[in-house]
Structures are given as structure tokens and as C-alpha cells.
Amino acid sequence: MKKLIFLIFNIIMLSIGNCGGPLISRLYFIHGGQRIWIPSVLQTVGCPIILIPLAIAYFQRRKIQGPEAKIVFITRQEFIASAGVGIIVGLDGYLNSWGPAKLPVSTSTLINATQLAFTALFAVLIVKQKLTAYSTNSVVLLIAGAATLALRANGDRPAGESAKDYMLGFVMTFIGAVLYGLMLPLIELIYMKAKQTVTYTTVLEIQMVLGISATVFCTIGMIINKDFQAIPREASQYAIGESKYYMVLVWCAIIWQFALLGLVGVIFYSSSLLSGIIGAFLLPVTEVLAVILFHEKFQAEKGVAIFLALWGFVSYFYGEYEQGKKEKKMKLKKKESQISQQLDMGQTGAGHVV
């Protein structure tokens, strides 16, 4: 029950981040933001907020264990692996920022939906994830649901967008989907290869390293691209005002941190495949929020996408429920078999004594 509660909590955080993050990033571009590295670094720069729960956990340990309480649980091997994956996280954030900047929403959503297929593929190859009929059905339905969102796109470029920029945005977003699909199983692999019991405190420390590594990567990109010098100029020219420009940046950093926190938590308490399925499920939900917040048109395709997404989501969890029942029956049969063998051995021993 405790594991289930934590899983639900992390699913909620992932949902807030995965829906709110793309929307607020889009808000940055809609009102005049033009820099790709800025929304990229904002996806992970909020990682110091993790120090709050880590500090609380440390002082609780110190009360119980005294001065001998460990400050850090992450090992050197986990630190190096997390830093390496963090670079992938930073690169993925940069690539995905091209979607709201250069592509129609339907097109970028379709491309991002392919990340679920790559997550399933890499999960099978890297962490030996077993795909059931239900999980396979869920993957197909969720991808099909997201694909319907592109039916009205017709490959049209946004007004004023050059063919070169449009194609560049398409390619960058697709590569980002591939990297995202690779990133999730790699995080799960860090947990699996750990030479110690991985607790949620360790998970937070791993996420901290991921966030710092990704932030350093994107900060270097900002320095090379001279984005820090451009921020005051962008703020002064922002369509809804300078103060709101900085508010958008701050909230972007906060909301994206929910996504990363929920992501590593869901992988820890379940699997990388589930985190990918939740991400795909939230794509049409994000579209509906875009209709409400940005007054976009709600075509029939979006309704179909939501229906298929819900169907796929339910299919996955029903499959997990059935798999749990099957495993429980197998354990029960194994236990009964062991008891039966023990009784037979006892009876045989009793016969020898007579």
C-alpha cells in the first residue's frame, strides 16, 4: 500500500510536469521568446529544490542515528552513470524545445508520441522488460491516439516559418523522441545495477545529479549562443510585459521540475515503460489544455485521440492487474507444493521410525 501511494504521488507530479511544462514553454514562444537554449535549461535548473526533502530526510536520520548518520547514499558508480544520463537529459531538453518553437502543435505532438515506441524498444533491449499483450496493445493505442492529432496538420508550416527551419524542427524533435525513449530505461538500469538497496532518498540524489549535469550542459550552450546577454532584451520586448516574461521563466523551471521528480519516481516504483505510457497518455490531455488556455480549435480528431489514450491507459493497468493475479496464483501454488512436499517427507520419516 505504501508503494502504491508513493507511485500515485509520483504519477501526479509527472502529470503536472508533463502537461504544464510544454504549455508554459509554448507560452514563452507565443509572446515573443526566440531562444532555444533558455526553455531547455529551465527544464532542469530547478533541481536545487530537491535539497529540501533531502535535508529533511537527513535530519530525521540524524535524530535516530546520531552523528553517524550518512549524509549521502549515492555511490561513485551511480554518480558517474547519473551524470552521463544527465547529459542525455540536457540534450533531449534542447531537442524537444524545437517543437513548440518551429512546428505546429499537432505535428510536434505526433513526433513526441513516437517516444513511447522507442521506450518500449529500449526497455526490452536494456532492462529486459517483458511486454504482455495488454502492454503491447496499450503502446499501439496510445501512438494511434497521438497520430490522429496530426490529421489536420497536413504538413503546413506556421506562418512566417521557412521550409529549412520547419524541417530542422521536425528532425530535432524526432531525435529528441528517440533520446527520451533511451533515457528512461537507462535511468531504470542505474537502479538495477546499484550495489546497494536503492531507497527513495537515493532516487532523489540520482535525480539531483541528473538535473545538475543537464543544467551544466544547457548552460554551456547558452554561453556559446550568448543567450544570457539576450534575456534583458527579450524581456523588454515581450508581448505581455517584462515582469510576466520573468514569471514565465520562473514557473517554467518549477513546473518542469515536477516532471523530472515524477519521472524518476515512477521508474523507481514501477518501470520505465509505465513512465513512457503516462507521457503518451498526457499528450492529448495537453492538447485539450491548449484548447482551453490558448483558445485553439477542438477538432473531432482530438476527441478520438483522448478516447484512444484512455483506452490504452486502462488497457495497461488492467494488464498489470491480471499479471499480478497470475503471479499471486503461481506463488500460492508454489507454496502449496512446498507444504505438500514437507508433509510427504514427514510421513516418510515417521514410517521409518515405526
* Complete DSSP assignment for 120-162: HHHHHHHS-PPPPHHHHHHHHHHHHHHHGGGTTTTTPPPTT--
Predicted pLDDT at 349:
56
Instruction: Return the residue matching grid coordinates 514553454.
Output: 25
Q: Which residue segment(s) compose the domain that 199 sits in?
A: 2-353
Over range 44-73, report the average pLDDT: 90
How many angstroms separate the CA atoms of 298 and 304, rounded? 11
HSE-CB for 225 with a 13 A CA cutoff = 17
| Tally of CB atoms within 10 A around 236 | 10
Cell of 231: 534575456
How many angstroms separate the CA atoms of 115 and 178, rounded? 6
Q: What is the DSSP letter of 354?
A: -
How many angstroms separate the CA atoms of 77 and 81, rounded? 6
Structure-model confidence comparison of residues 280 and 110, the more confident one: 280
pLDDT by residue (tens digit) across 335-345?
Answer: 777 777 777 66
Contact 185, 126 (CB under 8 A): yes
Q: What is the DSSP letter of 46?
A: T
- At residue 155 the predicted structure's pLDDT band, cuts being 50, 70 and 90, is low
Cell of 146: 497521438
pLDDT by residue (tens digit) across 311-343?
Answer: 776 777 777 777 777 877 887 887 777 777 777
Contact 267, 275 (CB under 8 A): yes
How many angstroms separate the CA atoms of 204 and 106, rounded? 34
How many folded domains does the chain comprise? 1
